[in-house]
Structure 1
Amino acid sequence: MTITDTESVSWNPKALDEMVSNDAGRPVLFTNARIVTVDPLSGTVTGADGPLIVGVGPGSVTAAEDDNAIVVDCTGMTVVPAVVDTLALAGGRGRRSECVATLTPGNTTDFLVVPDELAADVLSEVATLMSRPEQVRALVAAGRPVLWAGTGAPGRAAAPEAGIPAAPDLTGSPRVDVWIDRKGFLHQELTADDRYDEARGGRPHAYQGRFWIDGDRIDYLDDLGFWACGEFQGDELHHAGYVMKLS
């Protein structure tokens, strides 16, 4: 069966409008779908809601009116994770808690909605996204529509440009300073011109290069050519097993 362009364009337009303008944090409930959770415990179920998934299963729809939910009717559709854990699909995860990208409560709402006939399994549904995106009813990331009825959703996030980005001006940033680990072994200086200078064990200039901060993530490109990363957690900088604080 081939899905026509008319059918794609007309798929749940009211729900899309409500999701795009959803500044009040209303929950979004996708109903009547076949949901392949890729979770060994949940298996394949019907009905889901959530940016985090708060419920999966046929009974979720009963709370739609109570919660003032945005309801998306997915009759004839299959929902699968948009991020595929191929290791789990191949049976290579020893514990359920090790499985990533499952559609279970507490996980991020990243999923695909595709007509049943194009969704024999998770991989074929993801292949539809890559080869025939016009057939995709919805691609949702953290509860926000990215694709809808085969086209880009209004207000969707723009993908970052490939390549090394231009360095922003970090003058006055509280993160531009000298960070020192708990034992005093590692000293990492971040400067406003997007350069870092790292001393280790009293050895100055052990590593030097450029850095970029995106939210709480920091990426390093050393002058020797290798990449590394770290994360700001409150008043701490976590990097390569070290936990640093401002000097």
Structure 2
Amino acid sequence: MTVTAPDGSDWNPKALVEITEDNSGRPVLFTNARVLTMDPLIGTLTGADVLLVGSVIVGVGPGIITAAQDDNAIVVDCTGMTVVPAVVDGVALAGGRGNRSEYVATLTPGNVADLLVVPDALAEDVPNAVTALFTRPAQVRALVAAGKPVLWAGTDVPGRATAPATGIPAAQDLTGSPRVGVWIDREGFLHQELTAGGRYDETRGGRPHAYQGRYWIDGDRIDYLDDLGFWAFGEFRGDELHHAGYVMKLR
């Protein structure tokens, strides 16, 4: 597979082939870059590396390249490039985070590997770098989501993830699902019936049909669309359903 940018230039095509075709879990190392981590402790680094293993950032800083051969890493040369978070924490950019632990979407070891690689000239700061993704996509060298390339050398990566279709989905057929039934909170105040046809019906404090509507289950998440028009959600955690401050069990 050959990846050619719209301006005719190639950018690490061999590395992209290795990343997209590898099934062994090899680390991926973006090296020799300027890195705007947005982490108040780590800050901005020059001539630095960002090491990914799967969907997670495991190292940031200079010198990681020295272990690339030992670890059989896929190396992506980012000379002249800046790496920034692909997901921007607008509150942090505005100075609204009081503690480092509150920061989200930073290029910090342990965080999800969502990152953007653009030429230095387009990355005076993080807002400018992210703006380039929408105003100059042909100049984007890499957009990586959870460790997987989405854009590379200004073009879509073959087989990339695509956004789900917009609009309200059709009702799910949940016949036989172990999550169908009546869920009751610890105090017995909230009774939430989930039907196999994708409808819910809530009784609150003995008041029947307090809320009714549709629901959809995606993994351990449940989304509700009430007949009144509002959306809500819940999470299945083991044998419990957590929703709007209530903890329910199937009875």
**TM-score range normalised by the length of the shorter chain:** over 0.9
Question: Please, which runs of 5 or more residues in structure 2 have no aligned partner?
Answer: none
Distance in 2 between residues matched to 1:39 and 1:125, nearest whole Å: 16
2:127 and 2:67 map into 1 onto residues whose CA distance is: 32
Equivalents in 1 of 2:6, 2:229: separation in Å? Answer: 50
What displacement does 1:63 show? 2.3
Shift of 1:204: 1.6
2-structure distance, mates of 1:69, 1:183: 54
TM-score by length of 2: 0.93
1:30 aligns with 2:30: yes
Describe the superposition over 1:134-189 as per-residue Cα deviations: whole angstroms up to 9, x where unpaired.
11001000000011111111221110111111222211122222212222221111
Instruction: Give the corresponding residue for 1:220.
Output: 224
Equivalent residues in 2 for 1:94-113, closer than 5 Å: 94-113=98-117
- SS at 1:197 equivalent: strand
* Secondary structure of 1:208 counterpart: strand
User: What is the SS of the residue equivalent to 1:160?
Assistant: coil
Specify which of 147, 152, 156 is matched with residue 152 of structure 1.
156
The aligned residue for residue 211 of structure 1 is: 215
Distance 1:235 1:57, change over 3 A: same
Residues of 1 paired with 2:207 and 2:249: CA distance?
19
Deviation, 1:55, is 0.7
Match of 1:43 in 2: 43
CA displacement 1:207-234 (0-9 Å, x = unmatched): 1000111222111110111111111222
- The CA distance in 2 between the partners of 1:4 and 1:191, in whole Å, is 51
Compute the displacement of 1:4 (Å).
6.6
- The sequence identity of aligned pairs, in percent, is 75
User: 1:150, 1:175 → 2: CA distance?
Assistant: 44
Q: Which residue of 2 aligns with 1:169?
A: 173
Q: Which moved more, 1:64-73 or 1:217-226?
A: 64-73
Comparing 12-21 with 140-149, which one deviates more in the overlay? 12-21
Look up the match of 2:123: 119
Which residue number corresponds to residue 16 of structure 2? 16
RMSD over aligned CA atoms reads 1.3
Q: What code does the residue aligned with 1:80 have? A: V
Whether the 8 Å contact between 2:6 and 2:154 is mirrored in structure 1 is no
Q: How far 1:66 moved relative to its partner?
A: 2.2
Is 2:118–2:140's contact at 8 Å kept on the other side of the alignment?
Answer: yes
Among 233, 238, 248, the alignment partner of 1:229 is 233
Deviations 1:49-72 (A, max 9, x none): 111111111122222222221111
| Residues paired across the two proteins, number | 243
Q: Which amino acid aligns with 1:19?
A: I
Q: What residue ranges of structure 1 are gaps of 5+ in the alignment?
A: none
1:46-61 maps to which residues of 2 (within 5 A)? 46-50=48-52, 51-61=55-65
- Opposite residue 43 of structure 2, the aligned amino acid is G
**Change over 3 Å in CA distance of 1:148–1:240 after alignment to 2:** same
